[in-house]
Amino acid sequence: MTEKEVVEVPAEGEEEPMQMRKAQQTYEIQVEIDDAPDTLFSWRKLWAFTGPGFLMSIAYLDPGNIESDLQAGAISYFKLIWVLMIAHIMGLLLQRLAARLGVVSGKHMAEVAYSYYPKWPRLVLWILVESAIVGSDMQEVIGTAISFYLLSNGAIPLWAGVLITICDTFTFLFLEKYGVRKFEAFFCFLITMMAITFGYEFGVSAPDAGKMFSGMFVPWCSGCDNNQVMQGVAIIGAVIMPHNFYLHSALVKSRKVDRRRAEKVTEANKYFFIESAFALFVSFIINTLVISVFAQGMYGKTNNNIRDVCYNNTHNDMPNFYKSEFPANDDPIQSDIYHAGIFLGCTFGIFALYVWAVGILACGQSSTMTGTYAGQFAMEGFIQIQLPQWKRILITRSLAILPTLAVVVFSGGIDNISSLNDFLNCLQCLESGIYRNLVDYSVHQLLFLYSWIGTQFGYNAVSIPITVVSAILYIIFIAYLTYYCLVAMEFIPPIKSKWLAEPMYHDFNAPWLETKSAKNSIGSSDSHDYHY
């Protein structure tokens, strides 16, 4: 089978939707798929479709996820690995729906939202997506800056590492010039680096395999307090990234699927699901490695415990300024990316610290470009505007850098950076609920936000009204989107109202039903039952 990269053009008999003509599409170079008849399974076909799922899975491995993992291990031992597994299963189901939407409709989620929602709800969704992307990008900035700091033993200060990230992002633009397949291969290489580096940490720390598998398959958290329950919610918020659904629905368009033929749509959906399942399985393994390492090494430990290890292990070759990062007290150990690296270095030698830093660098760099793509797709879909990628990167990365720099400069630097990551995971958790429209889960998210605000700021005359108003607006918007979801599934009839505009159904087509070849294919045998 040969794979060629072609520029997408509307198939014969398939009209280009109106809003698609308004903006040139990003990622428009496609990989052409072999036209051979589909079989039950073909490795060659799977290879042709492999790529978008791995780019999507990078969002499950960004620095925010890694920090959530190590905190879960340090706070809850092995008890929450089953939550991580369920989060990945939930993510797979949602990513499958996103990919199917892109294949069947030929449009990604932001384009569908443009046709389906009225103007103002659509703009609100766009703002939420952009805020999620900026929040995720801030975590990538933080992780990358910390990795530079650790790799240089403090020679590159945190603020300098933050500034470097605005430059290194542009290097990814050159990768696209070499084609879609090479671009995807590079990100698979970065995922491999994460697997190797975090696998190394797993090997040297040798966690208890029995407890690890028990925590994976026993869905319970015996003796867990409120902090551990909230950590479980944070895992879901960190793993399921809301903007990733928009990204995945657009990335599948990088494969040229003949939508005039129902069997080809079915084939694409099948292989995209297999690829996504494998990619998220790899992501789950990597996340599990991180949880296990810090469950084994940091659970129940105090600052004094780790401080003693740093000073008493004379063979770790750690600089003295690292050893003093853990204060001489019996408070629980601070669990963030920075202190986790120092813990590994003190315990297993400075090489383990460098390996950890390389893994975090791979996480930060790999998730950078996917966030840029998600933002570009969202902008050109929701508001029909496309910016050159260098402008998009500059805007998104600047919005991420400014608040991060403020935290670094004005709030004590690297020791206080984890509180910003906690807030960002909370933000991702809330926005995930908006896209899923699950009312009961939204209640859990609001409780998580209530707990986080109470811990960080306390409740007073300022925070209480802001929290109440935000919660009310959040619930109203969830209800609004739920209405459109129920109408789309034909559970309820549409309500005629100026506030509930009818979707632009003429923007959607089904070319496999409209062309003569598709009609003959479907009508030739009643036994053919295609499921999309």
Q: What is the pLDDT of residues 209-235, one digit of tens each?
A: 999 999 999 888 887 877 787 788 778
Separation of alpha carbons 59 and 136, rounded Å: 9
Separation of alpha carbons 391 and 26, rounded Å: 14
Q: Are residues 349 and 491 in the same domain?
A: no
Whether 129 is covered by a domain: the verdict is yes
Average pLDDT over residues 51-60: 91
Whether 24 is covered by a domain: the verdict is no
Confidence of residue 358 (pLDDT cuts 50, 70, 90): very high
Pick the range with the lowest mean pLDDT from 33-37, 437-441, 469-473, 481-485. Answer: 437-441
- pLDDT at position 330, please? 87
- pLDDT at position 516, please? 44
Q: How do the residues of the chain divide into helix, strand and coil, expressed in percent and rounded to 5?
A: 70, 0, 25
| Sign of the torsion formed by the C-alpha atoms of 207, 213, 227 and 237 | positive
- pLDDT at position 426, please? 56
For residue 31, give the 3-state DSSP assignment: strand
Residue-averaged pLDDT of the chain: 79
Which residue type, as a one-letter code, is found at position 213? F
User: With 80 as the cut, is the pLDDT of residue 156 above it?
Assistant: yes
Average pLDDT over residues 50-57: 92
Pairing relationship of beta strands 5-7 and 255-256 according to DSSP bridges: unpaired
- pLDDT at position 8, please? 44
Average pLDDT over residues 395-410: 69
Confidence of residue 455 (pLDDT cuts 50, 70, 90): low
Average pLDDT over residues 58-64: 88
Q: Are residues 218 and 361 in the same domain?
A: yes
Q: Are residues 445 and 317 in the same domain?
A: no
Q: Are residues 383 and 464 in the same domain?
A: no
Average pLDDT over residues 85-113: 91
Whether 269 is covered by a domain: the verdict is yes
State what percent of residues in the chain have pLDDT above 90: 28
Pick the range with the lowest mean pLDDT from 5-19, 286-300, 355-369, 385-399. Answer: 5-19
Pick the range with the lowest mean pLDDT from 110-114, 204-208, 384-388. Answer: 384-388
Q: Which two tokens stand for residue 501?
A: 């505009």
Q: Are residues 247 and 375 in the same domain?
A: yes
Q: Which two tokens stand for residue 56?
A: 């999507």
Domain, as residue range, for 380: 44-139+178-387
Question: For residues 298 and 335, is the Cβ–Cβ distance under 8 A?
Answer: yes
Q: Are residues 258 and 321 in the same domain?
A: yes
Higher pLDDT, 85 or 388: 85
Q: Which two tokens stand for residue 274?
A: 């297999």
Whether 410 is covered by a domain: the verdict is no
Q: Are residues 130 and 260 in the same domain?
A: yes
Write the CA distances from 416 to 158, 162, 407, 409, 412, integer angstroms: 12, 15, 8, 10, 6
Pairing relationship of beta strands 29-32 and 255-256 according to DSSP bridges: parallel
Confidence of residue 459 (pLDDT cuts 50, 70, 90): low
User: With 60 as the cut, is the pLDDT of residue 380 above it?
Assistant: yes
User: With 60 as the cut, is the pLDDT of residue 438 above it?
Assistant: no
Q: Are residues 322 and 209 in the same domain?
A: yes
Whether 281 is covered by a domain: the verdict is yes
Q: Are residues 372 and 484 in the same domain?
A: no
Q: Are residues 474 and 336 in the same domain?
A: no
Who contacts 121 (Cβ-Cβ below 8 Å, separation ≥6)?
Answer: 477, 480, 481
User: Among the ranges 332-341, 421-430, 461-470, 471-480, which has the highest mean pLDDT value?
Assistant: 332-341
Whether 261 is covered by a domain: the verdict is yes
Q: Are residues 187 and 296 in the same domain?
A: yes
Question: For residues 179 and 28, is the Cβ–Cβ distance under 8 A?
Answer: no
Please tell me the total count of domains within the chain: 2
Q: Are residues 445 and 370 in the same domain?
A: no
User: With 50 as the cut, is the pLDDT of residue 187 above it?
Assistant: yes
Whether 51 is covered by a domain: the verdict is yes
Whether 424 is covered by a domain: the verdict is no
Higher pLDDT, 207 or 23: 207
- pLDDT at position 85, please? 95
Of 323, 352, 387, the last residue of a domain is: 387
pTM: 0.83
